[in-house]
């Protein structure tokens, strides 16, 4: 059965776009938060989500990336086909071994045309200084200033902690990921950490606005201002200032190393976390590891004009690629976030329900969750549930 599914998935044809869509700014609210618009920018425009074309269908850029990305994207396309999701994917493969950036530039152009992308992690194998990280370059070029990972436990999944519900809000374009490094003298390399008032305020305001709109009680700002007094000191100062506009919310701060210890010992003390780029990478991997690992949670990247959806921990999974054991749930959840963003809530709900039933109630789980099922076992069970559903 698994072989038949694999053969069918490999035969799936993905439609390519033949013309572009208008670039429109998102203001839609999902059940979590107003999407790409922070309150800082809502006054700029009143336009809606990217306009559906061709009978209500949306064009979406798909970047499979490396490692397990291509196989997970194949599963997503098959699931969308089963439930009739009105999405046409424009698939762009970025070769990680190439020296040039032509593929990257084409991918960015496609995302600007479509407004939305579903993305796997893209490897950058070249060590050339002229070769930038594709993942960071995409976020910077599109000004995707905030990353949101909702870390919520699944009942019955083996984990260090149960009933965790924490939202991580990470600054996406500043910090150590500015990619500004130089060798000042031979043997001495300096790497710049950039913190700006504008971007610190955008992410802080997004965090507080998220908490307000979703009935959260507390925002915790993560920093290392005791050592990096100017850079992290500025980030913390801005968060404290923005908090004055949200007096009903509690705000505290915590040093990053203590945060990791506290997250491991008692993650329930956190509600919404506001942090810089590198700290967000560290904390998201720690908390995801505590509640089931990299294969469950999705991440959302928002700017004022574009949105990209991807697995929450941004892992490539090269070591398990092609072995039919990769957990497809994180990528499926990313695609659900994308459907919600585009307004296809019925399709998003039926896919979410089928995925939840598969891993929680039916206990069809890959080895990373303590199960003995394959990737295709998980997908087949989701398709079986979807086959009995009707989506209008």
According to the model, what pLDDT value does residue 18 have? 30
Name the stretches of the chain with pLDDT < 50.
9-48
Please state the separation of Cα 24 from the chain's center in Å. 21
- Residues 31-67 have pLDDT tens digits of 333 333 343 444 322 334 666 665 678 999 999 988 8
- Residues 87-134 have pLDDT tens digits of 999 999 987 766 667 888 999 999 999 999 999 988 776 566 666 778
Element (H, E) at 345: helix 345-356
DSSP codes joined into one string, 116-145: EEEE-PPP-----TT---HHHHHHHHTT--
For 117, the token pair is 């992308």
CA distances from 202 to 171, 282, 310, 320, 378 (A): 9, 21, 21, 37, 39
Please state the separation of Cα 308 from the chain's center in Å. 7
Domains in the chain (CATH in brackets) are 52-124+132-149+294-391 (3.40.718.10), 160-291 (3.40.718.10)
Taking the CA of residue 94 as centre, how many other CA atoms within 13 Å lie in the half-sphere pointing to its CB?
34
Rounded CA separation 302/7 (Å): 35
Counts for the chain of helices (H) and strands (E), in that order: 11, 12
| Residue 251 bridge partners (DSSP) | 219
Alpha helix segments (H runs only) across 44-180? 69-83, 102-114, 134-141
According to the model, what pLDDT value does residue 43 have? 31
User: What SS3 string covers 273-325?
Assistant: EEECHHHHHHHHHHHHHHCCCCCCCEEEEECCCCEEEEECCCCCCHHHCCCCC
Closest C-alpha among 354, 378, 149, 155 to residue 270: 149
């Amino acid at each position: 059965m698994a072989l038949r599914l694999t053969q069918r998935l490999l035969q799936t044809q993905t439609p390519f776009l033949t013309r572009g869509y208008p670039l429109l700014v998102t203001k839609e609210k999902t059940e979590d938060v107003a999407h790409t618009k922070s309150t800082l920018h809502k006054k700029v425009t009143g336009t809606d989500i990217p306009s559906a074309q061709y009978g209500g269908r949306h064009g979406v850029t798909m970047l499979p990336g490396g490692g397990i990305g291509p196989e997970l994207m194949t599963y997503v396309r098959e699931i969308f086909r089963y439930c009739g999701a009105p999405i046409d994917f424009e698939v762009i493969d970025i070769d990680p071994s190439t020296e040039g950036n032509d593929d990257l530039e084409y991918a960015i152009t496609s995302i600007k045309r479509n407004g939305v992308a579903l993305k796997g992690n893209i490897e950058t194998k070249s060590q050339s200084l002229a070769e930038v990280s594709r993942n960071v370059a995409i976020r910077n070029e599109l000004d995707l200033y905030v990353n949101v990972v909702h870390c919520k436990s699944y009942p019955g999944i083996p984990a260090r902690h149960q009933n965790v519900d924490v939202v991580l809000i990470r600054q996406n374009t500043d910090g150590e990921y500015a990619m500004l490094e130089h060798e000042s003298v031979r043997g001495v390399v300096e790497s710049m950490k950039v913190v700006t008032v504008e971007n610190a305020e955008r992410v802080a305001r997004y965090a507080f606005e998220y908490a307000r709109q979703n009935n959260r009680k507390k925002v915790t700002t993560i920093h290392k201002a005791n050592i990096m007094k100017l850079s992290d000191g500025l980030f913390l100062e801005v968060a404290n200032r923005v908090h004055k506009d949200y007096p009903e919310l509690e705000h505290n701060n915590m040093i990053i190393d203590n945060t990791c210890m506290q997250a491991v010992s008692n993650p329930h003390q956190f509600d919404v976390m506001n942090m810089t780029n590198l700290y967000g990478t560290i904390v998201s991997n720690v908390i995801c590891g505590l509640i089931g690992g990299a294969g469950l949670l999705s991440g959302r990247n928002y700017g004022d004009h574009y949105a990209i959806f991807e697995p929450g921990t941004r892992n490539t999974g090269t070591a398990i690629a092609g072995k039919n054991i990769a957990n497809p749930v994180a990528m499926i959840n990313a695609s659900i976030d994308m459907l919600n963003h585009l307004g296809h809530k019925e399709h998003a709900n039926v896919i979410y329900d089928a995925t939840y039933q598969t891993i929680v109630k039916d206990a069809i789980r890959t080895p990373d969750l303590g199960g003995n099922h394959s990737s295709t076992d998980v997908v087949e069970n989701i398709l079986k549930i979807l086959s009995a559903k009707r989506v209008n």
